[in-house]
Amino acid sequence: MFIDFEGIDGSGKTTLSNLLAERLRRLGYRVAHAREGGELRSPIARRIRELTRDSKLLEMSPRTEFFLNLARDAQQLEEVIAPALARGEVCISDRYLYSQLALSGGGRGMPETALEPACELASQGLWPDLVILVDVEPELARLRKRLGKSKGERAPDSDSRKGLAGAGLAVRMRESFLALAQQDPSRWLIIENNDLPLHVLEQRLVEAVVARLEGRELPAQRMTPPSATPVQVPTTVDEVEEHFFRILDGLEVREPQLAVWLLGGIPGFAAHQRRLGFLERFPGLTVRSLIGLDDEPARALRELLAEVVPQDVAMSLGTNPSPQAMSLRERLYAHAPADVLSSLKRNDSPEAWALREHALREGRLGEVLCGLAGVDDGPAWAARELGVRSGLYADAARSLTGLGSARADALRETLLAHDRLAVLRSVQGLDTPFAWQLRAALEDKALKLVLRSLTGLSTDEAFALRERGAPLTKEALDSLDGLDDPRAWRLREAFVSRWPATGVSSLEGLPMTEQAEALVLRALELTAARLPVLRNAYRLVAASHMAALPSERTPQRMAGDGAQRPVL
């Protein structure tokens, strides 16, 4: 029997396919997994996959990508799947030719009628007996992927070729998978991975597959988890807090690390209390959730964990230039130099340069460059020039972020031949001829990064680009963060139904006016208050509450103690 798992990135198909393989083996079945542990069994297929994921191959066309992916699947079929089936084994694959129909057809917009004959040729007539579609809300899948990056599984600013198209690609692929399932309901089983614990999903999946292996009738095509209670949607912004923490507390049981991650940047007593509850189990994730916060509880947690998870504490400082933050960086440097140096962006203070000069003596030029964004003095330019001579092209490009001078653009021109994506990231917020020429050249190759580079811009050209990009991907709304412009509001209102979580998050930094409240409540209603939208809504509400509070008072000194102590 041939079983194929399909779904968008971050859906959980790799985890579930491996769990199923292990359970079937324990039940006595002989099982071959074509992608055991997340790695393709065929060495040739692995080499081909490296090509299709390489984000530097910007000229690769959708058609070339399609044929390369077909070659990868054909090789897996020849080398792994067909031999396993010939031996009478149950063969499990993590993606097959359906993924190419969903990516190239639904995702890239190629006509499916042209793709299907090529897929048929690659299959040699061998198609799965059972296709398990692990269906998940794309925004939730994206949050899970971001959590994986935060744990070091991938570099935070890395992108695959699919990633460069923007988050809208996953939305279109999901729609394509669901359409494929509807066309062949006897072959496809849809299992939702939104709200149920992993062990429950695993058990339901095993029962359904064993029923098929034993020739018994399968359950309904969609294994939809029953809802214990009717969905409640906040009808006022005052109700958002209660709804958010109720759902977050439920998530803690199923995915506790994701629950911690979703507290990121949220101020206030309720969020802080929950951080304390996670502290012992997940100290690193807990302190990373303080990014963007500089209140007394945040400072106290950093002090408490500085020696336990120094790297995470350094990351949590963001680019905070305060004396307290700089003092903490000096203590953390010995344990987390790369993260300390990266957090010095836009900081040209003597203390920041003392840390950089110490790092340069240790030979940490690349790490110094990563923290030079927005710094435009002589030593910074000397470091950049040394970086170029040393071949540190991507790091040198990152160091130019926020600089719109002729000198910066001249260096970008030099670096284009080495790393176009790093140069593109460096033009964020810039309204210069070079920046616009680069955006025009890469709009059809790296739409996500092009749109994000518009953050803070309110020119006609920026809004024209956003209007072109908004039907395709959410990053067009991402670039509206904090913009209180009539054109920004028109885009938010036009596309909140397509990108509800991003429509809400783009209000960050704006006051909670009637117009903002109406947009938030509409997004919640459209999505039945799903967690990604609810979380973004509560971040706005919590920030507005904190803004309305009196200034933080200086903590009282303990009797007989000359130093101020942080209060948890």
What single DSSP character describes residue 154? S
Q: Which residue pairs, CB below 8 angstroms and at least 24 apart, start in 415-420?
A: 415/388, 418/393, 418/394, 419/56, 419/393, 419/394, 420/56, 420/58
DSSP secondary structure, 458-487, as one string: -SHHHHHHHHHHTTT-THHHHTTTT---HH
Is 31 buried (19+), middle (13-18) or exposed (0-12) by CB count in 10 A? Answer: buried
The position carrying tokens 């991907």 is 473
Q: Which of 494, 472, 524, 532 minimizes the C-alpha distance to 138? A: 532
| Neighbour count for residue 443 (Cβ, 10 Å) | 15
Q: Which of 447, 479, 474 minimizes the C-alpha distance to 139? A: 474
User: Starting from the edge strand earliest in sequence, which strands make up the sheet with 2-6, in order?
Assistant: 31-33, 90-94, 2-6, 130-135, 188-192, 222-223
| Neighbour count for residue 182 (Cβ, 10 Å) | 11
Give the Cα separation of 298 and 459 in Å (integer). Answer: 37
| Neighbour count for residue 346 (Cβ, 10 Å) | 15
Give the Cα separation of 246 and 224 in Å (integer). Answer: 22
Q: Which of 497, 488, 482 minimizes the C-alpha distance to 467? A: 488
Give the Cα separation of 171 and 106 in Å (integer). Answer: 9
Whole-Å CA distances, 315 to 114, 311, 344, 367, 452? 48, 6, 11, 14, 22
* Residue 265 in tokens: 């940047």
Indicate the annotated binding residues for ATP: 7-14
* Residue 167 in tokens: 């988050």
Give the Cα separation of 293 and 211 in Å (integer). Answer: 52
Give the Cα separation of 126 and 297 in Å (integer). Answer: 59
Give the Cα separation of 296 and 288 in Å (integer). Answer: 16
The position carrying tokens 């790695």 is 39
Indicate the annotated binding residues: 7-14
Sign of CA dihedral 6, 11, 15, 19: negative
Give the Cα separation of 215 and 222 in Å (integer). Answer: 19
* Residue 416 in tokens: 């284009």
Q: Which of 429, 460, 534 minimizes the C-alpha distance to 139? A: 534
Pick left, alpha or beta for residue 7 (phi over 0 → left; psi -120 to 50 → alpha; otherwise beta): left
CB 13 within 8 A of CB 5: yes
